[in-house]
Each structure stands twice: as structure tokens, then as C-alpha cells.
Amino acid sequence: MSLLRTSIVPSIGPANLSPADVRRELRTLIHQGAPVLPVGTARDEPLRLVARFPPSWKLELWSTRFYVTTVRQNPHLRFCIAYVVQAHYRSGRTQIHPRIFYKDGSLVWRCASHIAVDDSGIWAGKGDTATSIIDGDEVLHSMESTTDLPFEMQTAIEELSRSVAKVPRDRVALLQVLRQAPAGRIEPYRDFTDPRRRAAKDRRNLIHGGKQVAYFRRANDPTSLRFVKGYQPDFSRGVIEHSNSKSVMYGGIVERFRVLSVNKRIQYFFMAGPDNAWITPPQTMTTELSTFGVRTVDVAIDENLCVPGYEYHFLDETVDPPEPYSQIPVGFVGRANPHDPDRSDASPWLEQLPVIREFRRKLLGQ
């Protein structure tokens, strides 16, 4: 057990290397004996995977290197392959782990933990799981934020994804790279969970003892949001990044702000489009990353703090009889998104959150 190191650093950018230099550097690592370890169908011929999907950019964050391909698209995801290079935590031997980085509907880049395929299509694994009591029943659900890439590299991945004029279509990379689970399995495998369990063994690594740092005093009341003292975002002195991106779903330019908490133990990522403003799940300042390129420690909050600007709200016709499905708090559903009718505007909820009002006032000048 050990205390994880923490650090406040600027967001990273790609190394000043040509695509040829990036590919040469990765090949050199392989020739020096670093094994390539895909867990999908390419595990029997890993070097063919590298040859078929060569990287174009190199990113480096703390002791982890990422060799990233150009962005690709299939009917379900916009994604890229990242060759995550790390020293094994016990042996110290350099290893290369191909992973899938994909863009979520909340505009956050994530690393898929595994994949499940059934008649309805492909489902990308969303990390660790937890249980909740719903209507008296224990329900297993994904903790999606455990797959969020570090905030410190979100802007770089977003900008690289927009640097190609034409996005190629791809239907094979996901299966070649990702471990395929039985249909319906949402739990990740031990390669994802073990680093998290090791980090949690030292209780000092847990934020606020693993308890929620943001919660609602009253159910289904956005105005009752409260933060544990010190963990509220510091809009006055804690802004460490401001960037812009574009989104068709959100109607144009999206401003992005990385903001420290008052006590500097966690960080927030705020986004604001022409009509929507929302918060992505906060992250720690710890520097340890797993072979998936994600942090091994997360921050507990009430998930209704981080409803994205547009969230799923539709009639699920895959069950008989069809049932309504929604990830927006009851009574706060806005208009359907014109580009994705399965998502609706969550602004009726978000705009009543005191922290969103403060964000608009202090950082957007509204």
C-alpha cells in the first residue's frame, strides 16, 4: 500500500514529431522487446494490428506514453486506437497495451474497458460497477466516469480528432482491440479493476474517505445541491484551462473550462454550448494511470450533478411491452435534440443547479 503522488499540471499537447517519427519510435520499442498486448481478436497477431493501424501522434502524461492513431468512425462510436506504453507495476518491464479511446455524447473522451455485441449492436464497456437500490431491488450499474481520460489530455485528444479532413469508416478495430464479453455483461475484467483495488487499499488515496463530495439535500430538487467544504469549484483562482471545441449536437462552439476545487484536491471540467452548460464528473489530481490510460482513483458525487446538456430520454422498444427510458431527473426533460431524437435537453434541471448559475455568472459573464 502506498500514497499516490498528486500534481497540478497544464494540459498536454502532442509531441513535435512527424507521423513517420512516431511510428519509428513505437517500432523501436517493439524491436527492443516491449510486447504488444491486445486483448481482442488481434492477440494472436499483435504486430499485424500495429501495421494495420499505425499511430500518427505521441502524447506523454507523467510516466505514460500514448501513441495515437487518426480518428475513425463506425455506426456506434467515433474513436481512435491508442497504444498505451507503461512499465509493469511489478517487473518494471515496458509493455504496450492497445486501447480504444472514444468520444461520449457528453463530449468527454473515454477508454472502453471491454465490449459486448448482441443483435442490437455494439456496447462499449463503461468501466467499474456499483449497486444501487431502485424500487427495493438491487441494481448493478456502470460507473461511467471511471473510463474518462484524464482532464489533462482531453483537449489534446479532441484537437487531434479534428485534424483529419475525412474520417475513415471502420468496423473491425473494436473487436481486434477490445476484450469481448458475453451479451449483457457490464462488469469489466480484472485488467481494469485490479489497479483500482490496489490504489484503494491505502485509504489515504480516497477522496473524502470515499464519500460523496457533492450531494442533494432533497431528492429531485436541483436547488438543494451542496458541496463538502473545500471541494466546491474555485471560479476565482482555480481556472487552469480554457479552450474551445465544436459540436453539431450542441449547436456550435463549446467552451471548456478546467477548474480546481478550493482545496486543490480535485478538478472539474465545465462545458458551455450556445444553449447548454454542464459539468463532467470531477477527477482527482493523482498521477497514477492504469494501462487503460485512466486514473485509478475517482471522486464520489451524486450523479445528478453531472447530467450532460443532452441526455438519453426515449421509448425503449427492445423490451416487450416498450418502456420509457430516461437518464434525466423526472420532471426536468426539455426538447428532443434535433440531431439525435433519443436525447433530450436537460437544461430544465441543469439551469437550476446553483453551481451552473455561478459558472455562468463568473466565467461566462452571463
Q: Is residue 339 assigned to a domain?
A: yes
Q: How confident is the model at residue 365 (pLDDT cuts 50, 70, 90)?
A: very high
Q: Is residue 4 assigned to a domain?
A: no
Q: Beta strands of the chain (E only): which ranges?
A: 57-61, 64-68, 72-73, 78-87, 94-103, 109-111, 115-118, 121-124, 129-134, 137-142, 180-181, 214-216, 225-227, 239-247, 252-260, 266-272, 277-284, 310-316, 323-326, 343-345
Q: Is residue 5 assigned to a domain?
A: no
Domain of residue 228: give its range.
Answer: 209-362
Tell me the average pLDDT across 165-184: 90
All three cell numbers of 123, joined, read 456496447
**Residue at 182: amino acid letter:** P
* Domain boundary residue, one of 144, 168, 198: 198
Which phi and psi (to 5°) does residue 157 adopt? Answer: -65, -40
Q: How far is Cα 280 from Cα 127, in angstroms, rounded to an integer?
A: 16
Q: pTM of the full predicted structure?
A: 0.94
SS (H, E, C) 178-205: CCEECCCCCCCCHHHHHHHHHHHCCHHH
Q: How far is Cα 184 from Cα 117, in angstroms, rounded to an integer?
A: 9
Higher pLDDT, 341 or 321: 341
Residue 165 has pLDDT above 90, yes or no: no
* Domain boundary residue, one of 198, 228, 255: 198
Paired with 115 in beta bridges are: 124, 180
**Percentage of the residues of the chain whose pLDDT score is greater than 90:** 84
Residues 281 and 140 in one domain: no
Residues 237 and 334 in one domain: yes
Residues 235 and 119 in one domain: no
| Domain count along the chain | 2
Mean pLDDT of the chain: 94
CB 7 within 8 A of CB 284: no
Q: How far is Cα 312 from Cα 84, in angstroms, rounded to an integer?
A: 31
- pLDDT score recorded for residue 123: 87
* Domain boundary residue, one of 175, 198, 221: 198
Residue 320 has pLDDT above 80, yes or no: no
Residues 144 and 241 in one domain: no
Q: Is residue 9 assigned to a domain?
A: no
